[in-house]
Chain A
Amino acid sequence: MSEKAERPQEDEQISAPEPPRDLRLAGALVRTVLSSEQTLMSWIRTSVSLFTFGFSISKFFQFLAVKQDDTEFSTGPRRLGISLICVGILMLLLAMADHVRLIRYMRKQGLPADSGSYLPFGSAAAFLAIGLVALVSVYLKWGL
């Protein structure tokens, strides 16, 4: 960070015969990719909370309905659960696509090749699979 604070005064020197290597842009690109990763992780949290809320609500009221012998009772919670899980799945997919697109764009802008990891993308894919299982489980009324 101190690098960034010192450099602005040296802007005139960039066109000097032997310019110092300017790392501000590379650093800014890496920070932007990291910011995109944090955003993808935020999407993961959002989607996972949608999955868990949707799943818990529909399963809890499915349980109560089975206990009560009233299958109509759980239709509202089940519909809410299915819509929450669907929104979570859709948004996580779109967010993953956006993240990949941003990384490609940043590579064209000169992002250092060794930066950026596939960890957030991989975990997003894993949580997407969990969300799909939750959706199928709620839809087919597995268990109970």
Chain B
Amino acid sequence: MSEASISKERTAAEIVGALSALALVRTAFSSQRSLMSWMRTSVSLYTFGFSIAKFTDYLEQQAEDVELAAGNRELALVLMIMGILSIVLAVFEHSRRIRRMKQLGLPDVSRPYLPIVAAAALLVIGIATLVGIVDNWSG
């Protein structure tokens, strides 16, 4: 986008260029929001999985002789793995879109990398949680 302010005269081409750049910024924001939506989905999946796993452990500690109905731990694992997978795929989708938009001239102001950093942090937490749970069960 050119540095000229809109109060100054802009040529038609400059205006079209600025409009396209702003449209790209909005699209990048939209893509960020989609990724954040995936982050929320993913975090709810793996925290529910974690809670189910831990609560199952608790229930078994409470009543040691009782074997709980099968499926709790499998459900917990499936939820956690789905959460981790979905965040990985969503990050790939977002970065692919952003790369494409960079080629089309996305201005730097849109800062599309913050949600990727957040998603990476949540991914690390999710994997650590999964490893902790599996390690706890096998150990």
Residues of A within 8 A of B (CB): 11-12, 14-15, 22, 24-26, 28-29, 31-32, 35-36, 38-39, 42-43, 45-46, 49-50, 53, 57, 60-61, 64, 68, 70, 73, 76-77, 80, 83-84, 87, 91, 94-95, 98, 101-102, 105, 108-110
15 additional A-B pairs beyond A36-B29, A49-B40, A77-B50, beta carbons within 8 Å, are: A15-B12, A25-B18, A25-B22, A46-B39, A46-B40, A61-B58, A68-B61, A73-B58, A80-B47, A84-B122, A91-B117, A95-B114, A101-B111, A108-B3, A108-B5
Residues of B within 8 A of A (CB): 1, 3, 5-7, 10-12, 15-16, 18-19, 22-23, 25-26, 29-30, 32-33, 36-37, 39-40, 43-44, 47, 50-51, 54-55, 58, 61-62, 109-111, 114, 117-118, 121-122, 125, 129, 132, 136
A25, B6: Cβ atoms closer than 8 Å: yes
B33, A84: Cβ atoms closer than 8 Å: no
Which one of B22, B51, B58, B136 lies within 8 Å of A31 (CB-CB)? B22
